[in-house]
C-alpha cells in the first residue's frame, strides 16, 4: 500500500514549528514538524453533527464528539489504493489568483537506496500531486535532488557520499532520470529544469548528455559567500543560475518515517505497534520520494503556498529490489 | 516634504478662520479619492527609500565644520544635470555601473543645510533590485557631492552637533533671531526660504502661543555641573514677545534647551515607502509594521548630541515631536478647555495611535480607548461609505488644524485633486503613514510609509535597514504574521527607545507569538459522494467548533530585549525577526550572489541587536569621550565637532575596513 503524507500549506494557519529551528543549518526539521503538526491538527477534529449527518459511515460506532483520535480512519482518506495522511480535499482552491501571477517551484528529492528505475514513475506521481493540489497545469521550475551528492564549497568537488547511502548514485541513472524530466518539459508540464548540489566538474560531465539543459543549480552553503570561483564562472558561461537552499540531503530517513507514522505518542498511529497487533497497518515502511512545492506571487515576492508531499510504501506493497 | 505649491500663505489668525473649510474640503477630496481607488487591485510591490543629508563644509585652516546653506544652489545645479540626463547627453555615468538606472532625484528639505535623495525610479521585489540599493545610494552621494564646493560634502548624521551654538556654525553666517522662528539660537535663514517653510514655522509658533520648547536631558559626565543650567540661554533678549518664554520657565534644569522648528525638522531620517497590492494589504501592513517602529528606532539610534552638548538620549524622535508641536495650552492640558475643542495627548509628530486593518485578529483591546476623533468628520466619512476603522483613522488625523493655507486654493473645491487632504495628511507626522493613491495618478496604488528610522552614517547601513524592512514586509505577508499589541504599548516603547543605549539596556513590549491561528478564507466543504475522503476535509480543521475563547490581552505580549525581538528568544518563545526573514528567504529562489549580499545586511542588524556592533549613537559618544580635548563636561566643542565630521567622512568611504575608524559600527573587529 502507498502512503501519501502531506503538510498542506505550511505558510498559513499558525505552525510555529516552521520557524523555531536553527535556520542557518540545513535540516529536515521543517518537513518533519510540519507533517507532524498537520497530522495532529487533523486528529483533533471533532466531527460536527452536520458534517456527519450525510452518512459517510466512517465513524465506526464511535459517538460524535467522543470518537477515538487513535483510529486513523477518521482523518485519513483512501483512494485508488493509496492512503492519504491526512485526507486531502482536492476540491479546495489551491491559489488565490490566476496561474500567471505565480512562480511555482517544485523540488523533488529522490531518496537514498531507492532504485533509480522507479524514478520515472515517481516523478510523474509527485508532479501530478502538486498539480492537483495547486490546481495548475504546469510548474515553472523543477529541481531534482539526487541522493548521495554532497556539495562541498571548500574544494568544489561534489562528493559521492557512499557511506551514507550504501551505493553511490551512478551517473548513468542520473542521465536516465533526466530523460524523464525532458519529456515532461516537452509536454509543457515543466518550464525549466534544475539540479541540486552539482559542482562544476559534475555539471561539465552532465551537460553534454542533456537535450534540455538545467537552468538552475541549487547549492547549499554553510557560508553562502564562499562559492568556488570555478563554479561561478562555469555557471555564468553556461547560463545556469546558482540558487541557494537549506534542505537536508537525507530528507526523510526510514526511521523517521516509522516514528512519524507509528503508534507511539509522537506518531500518527497509522502503523501497527507490533508484528501481530491489529492496531494499524502491518509491514515494513519505505519512503520513496519527497516533493516540496512553493508558489510565490511574482511581482510581490509573497510566498502564498508552500508544502510537502512524501510517499512511502508499506506492508506487502514494498517492492522487492531488482 | 510635500510638493511645494506657490501662492499667498495666510498668517495664523486668518488661517485659523479657514481651517474648518480646509478640513471639510480635504475630507470631501479623501472620500472622492477613496471611492475611486478603493477597488484598485494587484498593484505590484514597489518601494522607495528616502535618504536625507546634511551639507557640511570643512574649514581645515580654522579647524571648523560648518553647515552650508547652499541647498538652493546645489539643487539648481542638480536640476540642470537632471535635465541633461533626460536629454541623454550626460557623462555622469560613464562607467556604466548604473546603466539602466534612472538618475536619482533630489528634493529640498526644511533645513537649508539639508538635501533629500530618492532613487530615480522605485525598487521592485526582484532580488536584483535589492542588490542595486546600496550602490544607488552611493551614487546619489557622489552625484550630490559633485555639485558642491570641494570642501563640502553630504553627510548622513541625524543632526549637526553644534546647530544653535554661539559660534559661526553656518555658512554664510547670519545672526540668530528673525521674525519667523523668533529663535534666540538660530536665524530664519537656517530654514528653506520657500514660503511654505517659514510660514509653517511661524504658524506653529502662533497657534501654540509661544515658541516651541525642546528640553533634552543632559548627559551628566564627571565634570558636568549639577544642576546643569544651559549656559547658552540668554535671559535678557527683548526683541520679540516670545523672548519672554525663557523668563517664564521654558528652560529646565539639567536639560539642553532649544526653541525652534529647525532643531527638530533639521534632522535626517531614513524613510521607506511600500506600495501594497490593494487597500486591504496596505492597511494590514500599516498595522503590522507599527509595533516595529520603536524597535527600529532604538536599533538605528544615532543622535547623542544637541547644541554642543552630549545628551542623555540616543534618538532624534521626541525633539522633532517638540519642534513641530503646535498644541495650545488648553490642548496640552495646562489650561482649562475654553476655546479649543479637546485635549490632545500627542504632538502632530508622534507615534501612531490607530490600527486600521479589518483583520479578525485585531482585538478591540488593542485600540486606544482615549483616541481623540472629530466625530462630525467621522460621521461624514461613514455616511460616505467608509468603514468605521478607516473613518476613525482619518477623523483622528483631522483633529489638527491645517498650518499652511494658500488663499488661492480656497476659491473652489476641486474633487479631482488632493491638495486639501494632503495639507492635513502630510502635517500629521506619525511613525506610520497610510497613503491613498494620488488622485491624479492611476498607476500608483495604496502605500504605507515606515518613518521611525534614524539615518545611518554609511550607505551600507542605510541599505541594510531599508532592505531589512522590505524583507520583513514580505515575511509578514507570507507567514501571515501577527505583531498586534495594544497601541498604547507602542507609544510607551517609543519613549523607551530614547534612553541612552536603549538598544542593549531597555526592554520593549512585543507580542510573544507572531503566528496566527486564523481560519482560512475558504469555508469547509463536503464532497457529495460520501466517500471516506469527504469525512474530514483539510479545511475543516481550521474551523474548530467552537473557537477557543481569547485569553486576556496582557498574556499575549511581554517585555523583551531588542536582541530577543531581532534574533529570537533563547528559550524559543519568540522566533526573532531575522530568523523569520531567513525562513522567508529559504522559501523563495534566491541566487547565490544576492543571498550573500543579503546575509551581510542581516548580519549587521543581528549584531547591532546583540551588541557586537555599536549603534551610531554609541560610536559618536565614544568618539567624543576619547577626544583629547574633551573635558568630561558634556561639551562637544568646535574642535571635537570638526574631528568628528572628518571621521564621519572617513567612515562613509572606508566603512571601517581594515581597522579604519568606525570599525566598531560595521565590523566588530579591527581586522
pLDDT on residue A37: 86
Lowest mean pLDDT among A222-226, B57-61, B155-159, B649-653: A222-226
Q: Evaluate if residue B470 carries a pLDDT over 50.
A: yes
Question: Which residues, including other chains, have CB under 8 Å from residue B651's CB and lie 6 or more apart?
Answer: B457, B458, B660, B661, B662, B665, B666
pLDDT of residue B2 exceeding 60, the answer is no
CA angle B321, B324, B328 (to 5 degrees): 105
What is the number of other CB atoms lying within 10 angstroms of the CB of residue A278? 9
Specify the length of chain A in residues.
322
* Higher pLDDT, residue A255 or B387: B387
**What tens digit of pLDDT does each residue of B10-38 get?**
999 999 999 999 999 999 999 999 999 99
> ω before B172 within 30° of 0 (cis)?
yes
Nearest to B275, CA basis, from B134, B483, B123: B123
Residue B274 has pLDDT above 70, yes or no: yes
- Classified as helix, coil or strand, B505 is helix
Task: Spell out the domain ranges in chain A.
Answer: 2-45+68-317
Instruction: Kindly give, in sequence order, each residue whose CB lies less than 8 Å from that of residue A227, ignoring residues fewer than 6 positions away.
Output: A153, A219, A221, A242, B592, B596
A53 grid coordinates: 449527518
B136 pLDDT above the threshold of 70 = yes
B480 within some domain: yes
Q: Is the pLDDT of residue B211 over 80?
A: yes
CB A1 within 8 A of CB A314: yes
Question: Within a 10 A sphere around the Cβ of A43, how many other Cβ atoms?
Answer: 20
Task: Give the 3-state secondary structure of A186-250.
Answer: HCCCEEEEEEECCCHHHHHHHHHHCCCCCCEEEEECCCCCCCCHHHHHHHHHCCCEEEEECECCC
In this complex, is the C-beta atom of B248 within 8 Å of any C-beta atom belonging to chain A? no
Q: Look at chain B and count its residues.
A: 671
What's the grid cell of residue B260?
525652534
pLDDT of amino acid B282: 97
The residue-averaged pLDDT of B374-397 equals 98
Q: Give me chain A's average pLDDT, please.
A: 82
Q: Which of residues 266-285 of B touch A (CB under 8 A)?
A: 277
Q: Is B589 on the interface with A (CB under 8 A)?
A: yes
- Chain B hits for A306, CB-CB cut-off 8 Å, are 587
B530 and A55 within 8 Å at the Cβ level: the answer is yes
Mean pLDDT of the B233-249 span: 96
Q: Considering only B76-85, B280-289, B378-387, which range has the smallest mean pLDDT?
A: B76-85
**Residue A20 or residue A271, greater confidence:** A271
CA–CA distances in Å: residue A237 to residues A142, A157, A199: 21, 19, 14
Domain assignment present for residue B32? The answer is: no
Is A87's Cβ below 8 Å from some Cβ in B? Answer: yes
Residues 155-174 of chain A with CB under 8 A from chain B are none
Whether the predicted pLDDT of B374 surpasses 80: yes
| Confidence grade of residue B402 (pLDDT, cut at 50, 70, 90) | very high
| Domain, as residue range, for B660 | 45-84+101-327+427-434+444-518+554-671
pLDDT of residue B5: 63
Q: Do B527 and A89 touch (CB under 8 A)?
A: yes
Chain B touched by A244 (CB under 8 Å): yes
Look at the block and give the residue holding cell 466517500: B531
Q: Do A244 and B592 touch (CB under 8 A)?
A: yes
Angle CA A46–A49–A52, to nearest 5: 85
Cβ pair B453, B270 in contact under 8 A? yes
| B125/A301 touch (CB, cutoff 8 Å), yes or no | yes
Supply the pLDDT for residue A224: 58
Cβ <8 Å between A14 and B535: no
In chain A, residues with a C-beta closer than 8 Å to the C-beta of B580 are 19
- pLDDT category, A181, cuts 50, 70, 90? very high
**Contact flag A23-B582 (C-beta cutoff 8 Å):** yes
pLDDT at B484 over 80: yes
Query: Where does residue B231 rank: exposed (0-12), middle (13-18), buried (19+ CB within 10 A)?
Result: exposed
In chain A, residues 56-75 whose CB comes closer than 8 Å to chain B: 56-58, 73-75
Per-residue confidence (pLDDT) for residue A25, from 0 to 100: 52
Identify the pLDDT of residue A166: 42
Is it the case that residue A22 has pLDDT exceeding 70? no
Q: Give the pLDDT band of residue A318 (cuts 50, 70, 90).
A: low
Ramachandran category for residue A214: left, alpha or beta (phi over 0 → left; psi -120 to 50 → alpha): beta
Q: To which residue does cell 568618539 refer?
A: B623
Within a domain: B253:
yes
Tell me whether residues A19 and B580 touch, CB distance under 8 A.
yes
CB B138 within 8 A of CB B132: no
pLDDT beyond 60 at A174: yes
Q: Is B155 part of a structural domain of the chain?
A: yes
Nearest-angstrom CA–CA distance, B221 and B647: 23
Query: Contact A294/A114 with Cβ under 8 angstroms?
Result: no
Shortest Cα distance, chain B CAs vs residue A302, angstroms: 5
Contact A246, A27 (CB under 8 A): yes
Of the candidates B406, B398, B349, B336, the one whose C-alpha atom is nearest the C-alpha of residue B371 is B398
Residues of A in contact with B581 (CB under 8 A): none
On chain B, the residues whose CB falls within 8 A of the CB of A57 are 530
Question: First CA to last CA across chain B, in angstroms?
Answer: 41
Asked if residue B205 belongs to a domain, the reply is yes
Residues 123-142 of chain B whose Cβ lies under 8 A from any Cβ of chain A: 124-125
Pairing relationship of beta strands A241-245 and A216-220 according to DSSP bridges: parallel
Q: Which of A279-283, B69-73, B106-110, B638-642 has the lowest mean pLDDT?
A: A279-283
- Per-residue pLDDT for B463 more than 90? yes
Residues B324-344 have pLDDT tens digits of 999 999 999 999 999 999 999
Helix residue ranges per DSSP H, B324-370: 329-332
| Nearest beta carbon to residue B531 from set A8, A51, A56 | A56
ipTM for the complex shown = 0.88
The runs of H, that is alpha helices, within chain A are 29-43, 49-52, 119-134, 162-165, 171-186, 200-206, 229-237, 254-261
Strand B507-511 to B255-258 pairing: unpaired
Question: Do A280 and A272 meet the contact criterion of CB atoms below 8 Å apart?
Answer: yes
**Mutate: best of A89, A106, A214, partner B, most B CBs <10 A:** A89
Q: Which of residues 245-304 of A touch B (CB under 8 A)?
A: 245-246, 294, 296, 299-304
**From A309-318, B10-19, B75-84, B201-210, the region with the lowest mean pLDDT:** A309-318
pLDDT at B483 over 70: yes
Q: How far is CA B345 from CA B286, B334, B492, in A?
A: 21, 12, 13
Tell me: the pLDDT tens digits for B169-190?
A: 999 999 998 999 999 999 999 9
| Interface touch A19/B479, C-beta < 8 Å | yes
Q: What is the CB neighbour count within 10 angstroms for residue A1? A: 16
Cα B564-B569-B575 angle, rounded to 5 deg: 95
CA–CA min distance A304, chain B (Å): 6
Give how many domains chain B has, as a whole number. 1
Distance from CA of A23 to the nearest CA of B (A): 7
Segment A36-92, tens digit of pLDDT: 888 988 887 544 443 333 334 333 333 344 344 467 878 899 988 899 999 998 888
Q: What is the mean pLDDT of residues B223-240?
A: 96
B544 contacts in chain A (CB < 8 Å): 44-46
Give the CATH number, domain containing residue B198: 3.30.590.50
Quote the mean pLDDT of chain B: 92
CB nearest A15 (choices: B515, B572, B587): B515
Instruction: Give the pLDDT of residue A161.
Output: 47
What are the tens digits of pLDDT across the range A113-131?
Answer: 899 899 999 999 999 999 9
- Per-residue pLDDT of B485-512, as tens digits, reads 999 999 999 999 999 999 999 999 999 9
Residue B607 domain-assigned (yes or no): yes
A301-313: pLDDT as tens digits: 999 999 999 999 9
Mean pLDDT of B119-127: 91
- For residue A99, pLDDT over 50 is answered with yes
* DSSP letter string, A163-184: HHHSSPPPHHHHHHHHHHHHHH
* Prediction pTM value: 0.92
Using the CB atoms, write b or e for A244-277: b if 16+ within 10 Å. Answer: bbbbbbbbbbbebbbbbbbbeeebbbbbbeeeee
The residues in B 515-574 lying below 8 A from A, measured between CB atoms, are 515-518, 520, 522, 524-527, 530-542, 544-545, 568, 572
Spatial distance between the Cα atoms of A320 and A322, rounded to a whole number of angstroms: 6
CA B263 – CA B271 distance, rounded (Å): 19
Give phi and psi for A74, each to the nearest 5: -70, -20
Amino acid at each position: 500500500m502507498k502512503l501519501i503524507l502531506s503538510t498542506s500549506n505550511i505558510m498559513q494557519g499558525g505552525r510555529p514549528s516552521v520557524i523555531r529551528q536553527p535556520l542557518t543549518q540545513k535540516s529536515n526539521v521543517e518537513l518533519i514538524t510540519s507533517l507532524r503538526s498537520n497530522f495532529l491538527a487533523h486528529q483533533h477534529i471533532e466531527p460536527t453533527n452536520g458534517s456527519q449527518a450525510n452518512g459517510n459511515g466512517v465513524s465506526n460506532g464511535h459517538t460524535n464528539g467522543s470518537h477515538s483520535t487513535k483510529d486513523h480512519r477518521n482523518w485519513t482518506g483512501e483512494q485508488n489504493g493509496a492512503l492519504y495522511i491526512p485526507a486531502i480535499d482536492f476540491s479546495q482552491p489551491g491559489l488565490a489568483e490566476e496561474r500567471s501571477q505565480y512562480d511555482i517551484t517544485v523540488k523533488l528529492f529522490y531518496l537514498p537506496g531507492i532504485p533509480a528505475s522507479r524514478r520515472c514513475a515517481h516523478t510523474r506521481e509527485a508532479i501530478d500531486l502538486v498539480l492537483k493540489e495547486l490546481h495548475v497545469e504546469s510548474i515553472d521550475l523543477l529541481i531534482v535532488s539526487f541522493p548521495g551528492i554532497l556539495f562541498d564549497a571548500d574544494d568544489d568537488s561534489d562528493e559521492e557520499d557512499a557511506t551514507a547511502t550504501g551505493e553511490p548514485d551512478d551517473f548513468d541513472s542520473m542521465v536516465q532520470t533526466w530523460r524523464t524530466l525532458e519529456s515532461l518539459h516537452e509536454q509543457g508540464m515543466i518550464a525549466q529544469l534544475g539540479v541540486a548540489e552539482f559542482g562544476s566538474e559534475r555539471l561539465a560531465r552532465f551537460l553534454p548528455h542533456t537535450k534540455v539543459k538545467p537552468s538552475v543549480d541549487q547549492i547549499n552553503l554553510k557560508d553562502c559567500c564562499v562559492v568556488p570561483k570555478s563554479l561561478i564562472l562555469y555557471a555564468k558561461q553556461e547560463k545556469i543560475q546558482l540558487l541557494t537552499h537549506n534542505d537536508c540531503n537525507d530528507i526523510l530517513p526510514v526511521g523517521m518515517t516509522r516514528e512519524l507514522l507509528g503508534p507511539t505518542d509522537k506518531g500518527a498511529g497509522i502503523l501497527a505497534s507490533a508484528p501481530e497487533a491489529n492496531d494499524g497497518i502491518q509491514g515494513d515502511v519505505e519512503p520513496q520520494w519527497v516533493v516540496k512545492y512553493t508558489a510565490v506571487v511574482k511581482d510581490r515576492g509573497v510566498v502564498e503556498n508552500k508544502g510537502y508531499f512524501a510517499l512511502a510504501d508499506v506492508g506487502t506493497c514494498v517492492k522487492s529490489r531488482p | 516634504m510635500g510638493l511645494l505649491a506657490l501662492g499667498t500663505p495666510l498668517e495664523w489668525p486668518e488661517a485659523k478662520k479657514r481651517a474648518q473649510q480646509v478640513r471639510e474640503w480635504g475630507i470631501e477630496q479623501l472620500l472622492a479619492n477613496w471611492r475611486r481607488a478603493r477597488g484598485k487591485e494587484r498593484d505590484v510591490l514597489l518601494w522607495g527609500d528616502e535618504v536625507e543629508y546634511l551639507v557640511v563644509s570643512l574649514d581645515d585652516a580654522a579647524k571648523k565644520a560648518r553647515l552650508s546653506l547652499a541647498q538652493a544652489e546645489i539643487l539648481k545645479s542638480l536640476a540642470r544635470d537632471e535635465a541633461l540626463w533626460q536629454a541623454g547627453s550626460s557623462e555622469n555615468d560613464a562607467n556604466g555601473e548604473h546603466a539602466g538606472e534612472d538618475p536619482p532625484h533630489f528634493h529640498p528639505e526644511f533645513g537649508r543645510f539639508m538635501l533629500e535623495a530618492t532613487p530615480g525610479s522605485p525598487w521592485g521585489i526582484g532580488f536584483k533590485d535589492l542588490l542595486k540599493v546600496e550602490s544607488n545610494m552611493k551614487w546619489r552621494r557622489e552625484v550630490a557631492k559633485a555639485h558642491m564646493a570641494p570642501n563640502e560634502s553630504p553627510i548622513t548624521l541625524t543632526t549637526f552637533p553644534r546647530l544653535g551654538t554661539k559660534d559661526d556654525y553656518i555658512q554664510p553666517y547670519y545672526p540668530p533671531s528673525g521674525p519667523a522662528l523668533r529663535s534666540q539660537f538660530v536665524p530664519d535663514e537656517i530654514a528653506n526660504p520657500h514660503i511654505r517653510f517659514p510660514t509653517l514655522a511661524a504658524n506653529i509658533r502662533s497657534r501654540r502661543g509661544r515658541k516651541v520648547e525642546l528640553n533634552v536631558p543632559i548627559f551628566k559626565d564627571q565634570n558636568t555641573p549639577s544642576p546643569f543650567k544651559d549656559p547658552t540661554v540668554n535671559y535678557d533678549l527683548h526683541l520679540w514677545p516670545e523672548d519672554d518664554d525663557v523668563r517664564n520657565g521654558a528652560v529646565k534644569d539639567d536639560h539642553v534647551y532649544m526653541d525652534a522648528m529647525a532643531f527638530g525638522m533639521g534632522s535626517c531620517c531614513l524613510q521607506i515607502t511600500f506600495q501594497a497590492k490593494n487597500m486591504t494589504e496596505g492597511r494590514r501592513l500599516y498595522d503590522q509594521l507599527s509595533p516595529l517602529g520603536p524597535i527600529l528606532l532604538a536599533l538605528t539610534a544615532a543622535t547623542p548630541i544637541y547644541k554642543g552638548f552630549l545628551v542623555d538620549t540616543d534618538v532624534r524622535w521626541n525633539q522633532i515631536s517638540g519642534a513641530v508641536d503646535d498644541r495650545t495650552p488648553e490642548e496640552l492640558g495646562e489650561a482649562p478647555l475654553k476655546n479649543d475643542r479637546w485635549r490632545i495627548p500627542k504632538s502632530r509628530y508622534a507615534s501612531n495611535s490607530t490600527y486600521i486593518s479589518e483583520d479578525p485578529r485585531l482585538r478591540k483591546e488593542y485600540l486606544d480607548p482615549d483616541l481623540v476623533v472629530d466625530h462630525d468628520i467621522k460621521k461624514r466619512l461613514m455616511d460616505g461609505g467608509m468603514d468605521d476603522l478607516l473613518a476613525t483613522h482619518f477623523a483622528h488625523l483631522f483633529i489638527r488644524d491645517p498650518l499652511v493655507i494658500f488663499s488661492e486654493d480656497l476659491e473652489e473645491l476641486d474633487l479631482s485633486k488632493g491638495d486639501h487632504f494632503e495639507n492635513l495628511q502630510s502635517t500629521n507626522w506619525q511613525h506610520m503613514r497610510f497613503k491613498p493613491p494620488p488622485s491624479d495618478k492611476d498607476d500608483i496604488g495604496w502605500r504605507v510609509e515606515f518613518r521611525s528610522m534614524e539615518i545611518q552614517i554609511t550607505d551600507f547601513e542605510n541599505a541594510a535597514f531599508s532592505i531589512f524592512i522590505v524583507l520583513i514586509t514580505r515575511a509578514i505577508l507570507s507567514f501571515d504574521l501577527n505583531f498586534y499589541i495594544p497601541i498604547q504599548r507602542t507609544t510607551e516603547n517609543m519613549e523607551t527607545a530614547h534612553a541612552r543605549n536603549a538598544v542593549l539596556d531597555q526592554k520593549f513590549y512585543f507580542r510573544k507569538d507572531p503566528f496566527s491561528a486564523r481560519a482560512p478564507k475558504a469555508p469547509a466543504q463536503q464532497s457529495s459522494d460520501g466517500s471516506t475522503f469527504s469525512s474530514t476535509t483539510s479545511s475543516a480543521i481550521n474551523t474548530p467548533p467552537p473557537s477557543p475563547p481569547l485569553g486576556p490581552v496582557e498574556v499575549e505580549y511581554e517585555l523583551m530585549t531588542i536582541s530577543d525581538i531581532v534574533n529570537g528568544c533563547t528559550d524559543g518563545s519568540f522566533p526573532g525577526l531575522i530568523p523569520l526573514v531567513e525562513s522567508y528567504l529559504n522559501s523563495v529562489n534566491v541566487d547565490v550572489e544576492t543571498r550573500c549580499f543579503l546575509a551581510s545586511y542581516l548580519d549587521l542588524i543581528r549584531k547591532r541587536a546583540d551588541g557586537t556592533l555599536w549603534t551610531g549613537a554609541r560610536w559618536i559618544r565614544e568618539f567624543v569621550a576619547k577626544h583629547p580635548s574633551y573635558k568630561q563636561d558634556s561639551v562637544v566643542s568646535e574642535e571635537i565637532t570638526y574631528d568628528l565630521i572628518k571621521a564621519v567622512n572617513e567612515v562613509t568611504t572606508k566603512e571601517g575596513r581594515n581597522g579604519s575608524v568606525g570599525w566598531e559600527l560595521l565590523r566588530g573587529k579591527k581586522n
